[in-house]
Amino acid sequence: MSEPERLRVCALYPDLMNIYADRGNLLMLRHRCQWRGMGFELTGAGIGEPIDADGADIYYMGGGQDRDQELCAADLVAHKLEALRSAAARGAIVLGVCGGYQLLGHDYQLGGRVLPGIGLLDVRTVRSEGARLTGNVAIEVDLPHAHERVLAGFENHGGRTQLGERASPLGRVLRGHGNNGSDGYEGARQGTVIGTYLHGPLLPKNSWFADWLISSALGGLALDPLDDELEEMAHAAARVAAGL
Amino acid sequence: MDTLPAKLALARTVGLAARASGRGGGTSLPGRLLLRLDARALQRLASQLSQGRYVISATNGKTTTAAIAASVLERAGRQLVRNTAGANMAGGIASTLLAATRADGTLSGDCGLFEVDEFWLDSVSGQLRPDALVLGNLFRDQLDRYGELESIAARWTALVRDLDQATALVLNADDPLVADLGRDRDAAIYFGVEDDRLALPERQHASDATHCRRCGHAYVYDAVYLGHLGHYSCPGCGWQRPVPVLQARQVTLDGTSTASFTLVYGREQRPVRLKLPGLYNVYNALAAAALCVRAGVELDTIADGLESATAAFGRAETIELDGLAVQILLVKNPAGTNAILQTLALETGALDLLAILNDNIADGRDVSWIWDADFEPLVPHVRHVVCAGRRAAELALRFKYAGLARDRLTVEPELSRALDIAAGQAHGRLFALPTYTALIELRAELGRRGAASPYWSDGA
């Protein structure tokens, strides 16, 4: 008999980059693996702590307050850049939500200051003087081997993100603002690196996407179905809240 | 010529018209109109309050702290003018003062007690010119409404910097974000809990304020009581939790009904048995006691007032529905919810719950906060949960991922049907956990069933 499959998740700055209930995303991944009899291993890496480029199948970074995001930006570049680059190069999933998304790009301009990013996504973000982009949001995505096409969530960001040539948008905005409130796109994808402004949190509102991440991170593993009645109701309610 | 009386009359007429139109509850319309007519109306009306003006703000516990302080101040003979929870921004406070103004322009009370929304605190307190400003705590709240915690902390810092020296600052020593505000001020009055038996093994998940506001170093905690409240120090700059002049010692928590402690003020102490549950209400009682000390009330009167204070609207109040005791515990953000879940877990016996999650503006449209609250410790105590409200399914999902078996969960978004199911299943008592607009709906529904009065007739 072969070893049961095991998902290894590394949360980046779980104590600082967690403002939009990012724990909900990690809970979804954990339970949906465990209910299928799969192993689940969660590690965290805080300020000053190195990460293992081969140690996880999914690297996750959530959002933080400005001050915390600034601390993490400097630390990412100093301590985690090389490992994350090589993890992405070997096909590990790197998922950034909200502030985490911004830091996966080249940089984030906040007034006179520029926070460095790690450039895994060819995107740049600029803090706008205008109103924060806040509200329920739904986007249409087209992901390989995925049967579902809609992600619903909540966005709340002051930064406007523009995509460069090498990044594709994660999806097309159906309702809400998206990357910058003007070009109709949301999030970014570049190989196995994914960034999005959808929190709320993202995965409890889109259990199919949690499964897509698990499957993709484990080389396209086929997953047993689960009783997702409540998950589907929550997804439907999030779509309705966004106006779909 | 002073045109204030005419403005008051006009604003009052509008208020009566709004009430007559049946919109009900906590309307801030007349107050907002009054402020449009006279931007200094708050100051002009409040300045008549000769026996003191007291302002309370916090993320959690404003309403209960005000209710406890009112119990003491009324006992001390003050004639209070006070606002309700639904009227805690500038317009609502102006409405409150307007409603207390007699035809001759004088006020019907002599002492002002105002709970103020944390985001409106700077503009409102500048006009009210309080004798004491009580700041209870700062927790992560509804981010889509209030923005980041840091931005509120920065606003409060600026507010305190510009505060008149005549205003006493009353601060929670156990909340580093709040206590830090008194660092550069001579005469801050601190309150706090001194009881190591209450210490939690670690900080709760959604704890904020992990790093010193002055030097950025991570705080070190000797004891954590609730969220990020506790005994802390900063190894970076040496800042220590201030020693509180008002303390709660020997705290005993008795389920969802009562809490008792020894109130210590300087060398004096009094035993206090609250009719309110949970450590969070011990903090509310301490905040109220500190306010009343500043107001010059005797310690015996304070202790009596604390003991006779009853639950504020939707804050652990119990309503009888056809022989079923329905206890209502408002939930609105992770820290407040954690405090309530912690308190519920103290109850003996299995719990029947009606949990109601709405996503209207007053609830916060972003419901992500439920994933920051620690439902896990409550799950072993739950017999059944009926989830209701606009986001009922996601709340049910939160219980499921906290480990609650699927057959202990019912999803019924529509409140009236959900109440029927929950009441039908409950064994003698039901705990209702509504968000803010759900609380209003639940009270109205209970009222229709003859169990509770509509909330705007609830008094203050």
What are the pLDDT digits (tens) for A10-22? 999 998 888 778 9
Q: Count other Cβ atoms within 10 Å, centred on residue B116.
A: 27
When scoring B141, B375, B401, B406 by the number of chain A Cβ atoms within 10 A, the one with the most, hence best to mutate, is: B401
Backbone dihedral angles phi then psi of residue B88, each to the nearest 5 degrees: -110, 20
Secondary structure E strands in B58-126? 80-82, 111-115
Q: How far is B64 from chain A (nearest CA, A)?
A: 27
A142 falls within a domain: yes
What Rg value do the Cα atoms of chain B yield, rounded?
22
Specify the amino acid at residue B29.
Answer: L
In whole angstroms, what is the distance from residue B336 CA to residue B328 CA? 14
CB of A146 within 8 Å of a chain B CB? The answer is: no
Structure letter (DSSP) for residue B245: S
Chain A residue numbers with beta carbons less than 8 Å from the beta carbon of B409 are 230
CB of A155 within 8 Å of a chain B CB? The answer is: no
CB of A244 within 8 Å of a chain B CB? The answer is: no
Name B327's Cβ contacts closer than 8 Å, sequence gap at least 6: B256, B316, B317, B318, B319, B429, B430, B431, B432
State residue A163's pLDDT score: 97
Name A52's Cβ contacts closer than 8 Å, sequence gap at least 6: A10, A83
CB contact under 8 A, B371 and A21: yes
State residue B319's pLDDT score: 92
A residues 157-196 near B, CB within 8 Å? none
When scoring B138, B139, B142, B143 by the number of chain A Cβ atoms within 10 A, the one with the most, hence best to mutate, is: B143
A137 falls within a domain: yes
CB contact under 8 A, B397 and A230: yes
Counting Cα atoms < 13 Å in the Cβ hemisphere of A241 gives: 30
Say whether B171 sits in a helix, a strand or coil: strand
CB contact under 8 A, A65 and B150: yes
Structure letter (DSSP) for residue B51: T
Name B363's Cβ contacts closer than 8 Å, sequence gap at least 6: B142, B332, B357, B435, B436, B437, B438
State residue B460's pLDDT score: 34
Backbone dihedral angles phi then psi of residue B212, each to the nearest 5 degrees: -60, 130
Please say if the pLDDT value at position A75 is more than 50: yes
Best CA proximity match to A98, nearest among A10, A194, A206, A182 = A194
Chain B residue numbers with beta carbons less than 8 Å from the beta carbon of A68 are 211
CATH of residue A63's domain is 3.40.50.880
Chain B residue numbers with beta carbons less than 8 Å from the beta carbon of A40 are none
In whole angstroms, what is the distance from residue B288 CA to residue B305 CA? 10
A235 falls within a domain: yes
Question: Considering chain A, what is the average pLDDT of its residues?
Answer: 94
State residue B458's pLDDT score: 40
CB contact under 8 A, B359 and A199: no
CB of A20 within 8 Å of a chain B CB? The answer is: yes
Range of the domain at A222: 6-242
Please say if the pLDDT value at position A198 is more than 60: yes
Q: How far is B391 from chain A (nearest CA, A)?
A: 6
Please say if the pLDDT value at position A51 is more than 50: yes
Segments of chain B scoring below 50 in pLDDT:
25-26, 453-460
Say whether B412 sits in a helix, a strand or coil: coil
- Nearest CB to B397: which of A20, A154, A204? A204
State residue B15's pLDDT score: 73
A residues 29-58 near B, CB within 8 Å? 31
B393: nearest CA partner in chain A: A234
Cis ω for the linkage preceding B176 (within 30 of 0): no
In whole angstroms, what is the distance from residue B413 CA to residue B393 CA? 8
State residue B147's pLDDT score: 61
Mean pLDDT of A168-186: 97
Q: Which residues pair with B252 in a beta bridge?
A: B260
A89 falls within a domain: yes
Q: How far is B370 from chain A (nearest CA, A)?
A: 8
Helices (H), B100-231: 121-128, 143-146, 149-161, 176-179
Q: How far is B393 from chain A (nearest CA, A)?
A: 5
State residue B146's pLDDT score: 58
Asked if A235 contacts B397 with a C-beta cutoff of 8 angstroms, the reply is no
Say whether A196 sits in a helix, a strand or coil: strand
The dihedral of CA B208, B209, B210, B211: what is its sign?
positive
Chain A residue numbers with beta carbons less than 8 Å from the beta carbon of B370 are 21
- Nearest CB to A204: which of B150, B371, B390? B371
Structure letter (DSSP) for residue B72: H
Structural domains for chain B: 4-16+26-308 (3.40.1190.10), 315-457 (3.90.190.20)
Name B21's Cβ contacts closer than 8 Å, sequence gap at least 6: none
How many whole angstroms from its chain centre is CA B209?
A: 19
A122 falls within a domain: yes
State the ipTM, two decimals. Answer: 0.96
Q: How far is A167 from chain B (nearest CA, A)?
A: 28
Say whether A132 sits in a helix, a strand or coil: coil
State residue A209's pLDDT score: 98
State residue B25's pLDDT score: 47
A residues 205-234 near B, CB within 8 Å? 205, 227, 230-231, 233-234
Total number of domains in chain A = 1
Mean pLDDT of A105-117: 92
State residue B457's pLDDT score: 38
State residue B455's pLDDT score: 44
Name B215's Cβ contacts closer than 8 Å, sequence gap at least 6: B234, B236, B237, B239
Task: Return the active site residues of A.
Answer: 98, 199
A166 falls within a domain: yes
A1 falls within a domain: no
B139: nearest CA partner in chain A: A19
Q: Which residues pair with B232 in a beta bridge?
A: B221
Say whether A153 sits in a helix, a strand or coil: strand
CB contact under 8 A, A24 and B371: yes
Asked if B405 contacts B371 with a C-beta cutoff of 8 angstroms, the reply is no
